[in-house]
Structures are given as C-alpha cells and as structure tokens.
Amino acid sequence: MPSTKTVDLAAHPLTAWQGPLGLPDFAHIGDGDFSPVFDAALKAHEAEIEAIAGNKEAPTIENTLAALELGGEALDHVSSIFWCRAGAHTNEAIQALERDISPKMSRHFSAISMNERLFARIDDLYQRRESLKLDAETLRVLEKTWKGFVRSGARLDAEGKKRLAAISEELSSLGTTFGQNMLADERDWALFLDEADLAGLPDFLKSAMAEAAEMRGQKGRYAVTLSRSIYEPFTTFSERRDLREIAFRAFTMRGQNGGATDNTSVVREMLKLRAEKAGLLGYASFAALKLDDTMAKTPKAVHALLDPVWEKALEKAAADQTELQRLAAEAGSNEKFAAWDWRFYQEKLRAEKFAFDEAELKPYLQLDRIIDACFDVATKLFGLTFEENKGIAAWHPDARVFLVKNADGSERGLFLADYFARPSKRSGAWMSALKSGYRLGHGSKPVIYNIMNFAKPPAGEAALLSVDEAKTLFHEFGHALHGMLTDVTWPSVAGTSVSRDFVELPSQLYEHWLTVPAVLEKHALHVKTGKPMPKVLLDKMLAARTFGAGFATVEFTASALMDMAYHARPDAPAEPLRFEAETLEKLDMPDTIAMRHRTPHFGHVFAGEGYSAGYYSYMWSEVLDADAFAAFEETGDPFNPALAERLRKNIYAAGGSKDPEELYTAFRGKMPSPEAMMVKRGLV
C-alpha cells in the first residue's frame, strides 16, 4: 500500500542531502523513512516523465533528452542510500522493504521505457540525429538511449509490452529473493571451535575467528564462517581435514540446503523468464540480448576467448594436482585427494617451491597501509589526494569518509569505504555511487563508495590482509577511481556506465600497481617492527605471482562457461542443477576443484541481472589490463607521466562517452590479443 504520509522531498534527509560535506544526514535517517519517501519520489518522477512526454513543443535535446537524464533526482537520492543499506547493513525491515520496492521500481521503469509518447520524442530526435549537428558524446547518449528503449520493449505491441513488464517485475522480485536467501545461508552458518581444534592456524586467523565467534555470542570460542576472509585461510591452513571438509561443503552448498532459503526453484524460474524475455524482444537467446551492447557482441566471441583458456587451465591444474597428491602421500595421507585438500596442499607446495607461505606475508599487509598504498598510487598517477574526515556518520560506524582533491587543491568529490565483514552485510566486495559526477544542468560531484568483507580484528589489533585481499582492495579502488575521475557531460555515460566487458579494465589494471616493488617497499611494513618487507621475501612473492594459476583459472572459467551455457541457449533447462552437473562433466571439470560460484549462490548472475551472461567480462577485461600495464613496463616507469595522462583521459575519465575500442586504442594505439593475459596468468 502506498504511504499516506506527506513527504517534503525538498527537505527530507533522504532526498535533500544536508549532512557534513554534502552527504546525506545519516544520523537522521531511520528504516521507517524509506517507504513514504520512495512513494513520493516515484510520484514526483512520474510527473516529470509526463511533463516531458506531454510537451507540446517539438522535441529538442534540451526538452527531451536532457530533461530525461536530469529527471528523478529525488528517486536517485533515496535509491542510492537504500541499495547501499540493503547490501552493506541490512536488517529485517530493510529486507521486507527490498521485497516491496524491487517490483515497484521495475514497474516504474518499465512504464517509462514503454511510454509511447516519450519514445516518439526520442525516436524523432534519433531519426534526425545526422542533421542535429551534435557533439560526439551527445550523439552517443542519444543512440544509447534510443537502443535502450527498443531493448526494453518500446516497439512491442500492447500485449507484448504488458508481458515484458510482468516478466521484468517478476525477475526483479526473484533476484531480490535469491540475494536474501544467499545472505541468510551465509549469515546463519558458523562452525564453532575450541582451542584444541585450531592446529595449523596462524595467529591472524585465530584472532579473526575469535572476533567472529564473539559477534555471534560465543565469546572465548572460535568461529569458521562463510565469509571468504575466514573460509579461505581456514581451508588453507587447518590441519584438521574433517573440519576442512565440513567448511567446504557448507561453502559450496550455500543456496542449496532445502527449506525457505533454497535457490533451486528461484534459478529455474529466472532462467525460464530470461529466455522468454529474449524471445519477446527478437533475440535468439538471453546471452544474445545481453551481449548486443558489449565489446564481445556474441556468445561465439566469448567462447573464442574462454575455450582456449579453459584447455590451458585444465592442463595446468592436472599437473599441479599431481604435485599436490605427492605432498599428501608424503604427509602420510591415505585418503583420496579431494576438493577440501587443494588449498591446504597448495600452500605446502608454495612453501616448498618458494620457501614462504601466506602467513609470512600477512604481517606486512596491514589494511591501513594498503589503503595508503592505494591512495599513494592515485596521487602519483593522477594527482589526487585523500583527506579522512573522522566523526561523520554514514550507514555504519565502520564506514570511513574521505574528501578527494585534485592536484590544484580543488575538490574532486568524496570517497567512502566500509572494510569489515559483519552479519548484516552481503558477501563479496563492490563499488557503487551515492552520486555520479557529470556536468549537465547544475552538475554533480561524485560520491563513490567501496564495500569489502575483511575479517575484523579484536580492538587494538591491526587488520591484516592476504595478498588476494590486498588485490581486492586495489581492484575495488580502481572501480572507485573510474567513478571519481569521470569527466563527462551526460549522467548516463558517467564513471562506470560502460559496457560490462570494459568496466573491469580500470579495476583489474589498478591491481598491477600493488606489486610494483617501489609500492611494496614503501607500504608493506611489518605490523610489529615497522620494517619493510625484506627483499628476499618480496622477490619470492613476486616470483610466486602465477603460482596456483591452474586452480584459480579453472574455478573462475568454469563459472564463466556455466553462465554462458545457461544463457546462450534459446530455452531454459528444466532442472538447472542437473544441467550444471552435466555441463561440468562435458567440460571435464576436475572433481577436486569447485566452481568459484556454483549456481545456487552465483550472485553476480542471479541476484539481479548485473553480470548475467557477463561473468566472462572479468577475463575479457583482463586481456586489456595485461596489455595496458605492459605499456607502462615498456617505458621502464610504472608511473610514466605521459602514459598516466593518456590513461586518465581515455580510460578513467572518459566513462562511456565513446566506444570502448576507440577509447582503448586512443590510450594504447592498438587492440590487444589474449596472449599477454595468458602469460600474466602463467598459462603459457
């Protein structure tokens, strides 16, 4: 039921941001505020759309395209805060509202994209685009807007529009259900242990597990949780094979435990509806629909990248498994080598080959030092500086606020970061925006945030990261820079509003600077002594960069191939989990490695449409990022100023204002081949 409460959108803290630094005043926002403000903001946006669609004047860029882009500001404001809360600090009230608002938002935007009078005005501009003498960015925005309307059903008949709107609404609800089920399984499972169960575990992990147990009311004990920041090191170091198996099975069975949180039927229905949606819009498959607006364009092009990588990864993983089985036999294990043994013996093999283990590195990778390293690289490359403003309320006390400035001291925008895992936060790591940066109308400065799930240390102790976690921090900060450095006119092409298989380039490229020796020498300081990482350990770490490539590439590529298998067919499998098993069998998937994301918890693909038929894009972008960093290596200077300026202008600042191939070629002079990526991964 819509709220009957009158809301003043011009004054409400959810829509009129009057907190410190122009942020929302989080201290005065309650869970009960969202529903009436959403209702009022939706109504206000409907009125704006009606004014554009019903305008009696001939369509112009200003009265139609610009009006459409700038409309719905109040809705944008409340939405950005709400979806931040839903992911980073949820509760039963927020989840109930999420189930209510998801279909409501879907209905709202379906109605806009199927508004015949509105599309007629956009279509009028599109048909006259050659005579309008538009600049390149405006022309691109007009073309993307027109295509977006068409892909959303603007040209369907009345019956088709009605069915498509119903499908979109149902998919939105199902995506919300999928994500909430996944969060519930992750939140509600914990394996509580005592001191006697901790054989092999390093101190940093014991501290994190003690903190996790205390958060769950079991002070004095230790908890294995399904957060990667605890699960992965536990299965890497625990000498208790029985406990590794319990944790592995819980982790891989998220979303498939029967009962209210089981995602099996959710996935079945989503795949069926996606296939129907694609057919309605005239596409051969859902993958064909999703890939139409990407660099790859077709499922065939995606397979041309993934299939050769898969073959190489299988070969590498098979060779590695032989070595791991040797170590297991030497350790006296008579058990058949299993998936819960891989990380454990892989760490032993790393120690044997490179004479160090992850536990040796971790004291040098303090969270605050790695944050400083992220900022330091951004200063060297792009001239940005970051000033923390303490004491400003955000969505959770752990969230930190930084003012971002340009080299000349002018304000660039704001960066917020929330680093620690908690039961109210969904798993994984991501970047998003409370506000995008653009110049249209009155303009807007970007307000960007990063969310992580690192294990929180006990009070007074420093948070320590693994190499993978430090890479994740750099990765998400690369996305944040894409949002903060944006320099475009139109909101719809600002920041990360680029094709799905280009969006990972700025983030994956930024990871490379973590392992630049000068960065590590300055920021990888021992937590107790403050001394830099010894050169011998640094050299070992750099030498081991491609260690474990077989395992990592198999678990990722299996998920990407599974995503395409589901979505590149014209119909939907009757039993998705049986189809998953059959597909993996055809691919010769080793039973000793699990997919990085199995179907029932593949949030990238099923908790919304974000990476559906698009999980391959991490590897597509990796082809670009390996080649892009090679450009710096070729100059002998990882901070080469001329190259950094080309990188800023064409990759980080350009958003979606030009075709991604054009942008990449402007930076590098040519498009790359997959060879550099294969070399970087250690597969050739």
In a 3-state reduction of DSSP, which class is residue 452? strand
Q: How far apart are the first and last CA of the chain?
A: 60
Cα–Cα distance measured from residue 73 to residue 66, given in angstroms and rounded to the nearest whole number = 13
| Distance of alpha carbon 588 from the chain centroid | 28
C-alpha closest to that of 656 among 434, 487, 534: 487
Distances (CA, A) of 11 to 2, 42, 74, 436, 457: 20, 16, 11, 21, 40
Residues designated catalytic: 476
Q: Which residue has the tokens 């980080």?
A: 652
Cα–Cα distance measured from residue 605 to residue 323, given in angstroms and rounded to the nearest whole number = 34
What secondary structure letter does DSSP report for 2?
-
C-alpha closest to that of 255 among 208, 188, 322: 188
Contacts of 678 (CB under 8 A, 6+ apart): 309, 312, 684
What secondary structure letter does DSSP report for 336?
P
Cα–Cα distance measured from residue 579 to residue 574, given in angstroms and rounded to the nearest whole number = 8
Distances (CA, A) of 185 to 178, 407, 421, 632: 11, 46, 15, 44
The answer to whether 500 and 294 are in contact (CB under 8 A) is yes
Q: Which residue has the tokens 């397979």?
A: 303
Q: What residue type is assigned to position 269 of the chain? A: E
Q: Which long-range contacts (CB under 8 A, 24 or more apart) does 680-683 make?
A: 680/546, 680/622, 680/626, 681/309, 681/546, 681/549, 681/552, 681/553, 681/622, 682/316, 682/545, 682/546, 682/547, 682/549, 683/309, 683/312, 683/313, 683/316, 683/549, 683/553
Q: H helices of 253-366, where?
A: 264-280, 286-291, 299-330, 339-354, 358-361
Contacts of 611 (CB under 8 A, 6+ apart): 500, 563, 604, 605, 617
Cα–Cα distance measured from residue 660 to residue 475, given in angstroms and rounded to the nearest whole number = 20
Q: What residue type is assigned to position 125 of the chain? A: L
Contacts of 407 (CB under 8 A, 6+ apart): 383, 384, 385
Q: Which residue has the tokens 């454990």?
A: 344
Cα–Cα distance measured from residue 116 to residue 120, given in angstroms and rounded to the nearest whole number = 6
C-alpha closest to that of 452 among 524, 387, 555, 367: 367
C-alpha closest to that of 416 among 377, 450, 386, 456: 450
Contacts of 110 (CB under 8 A, 6+ apart): 152, 153, 164, 165, 168, 169
The answer to whether 447 and 413 are in contact (CB under 8 A) is yes
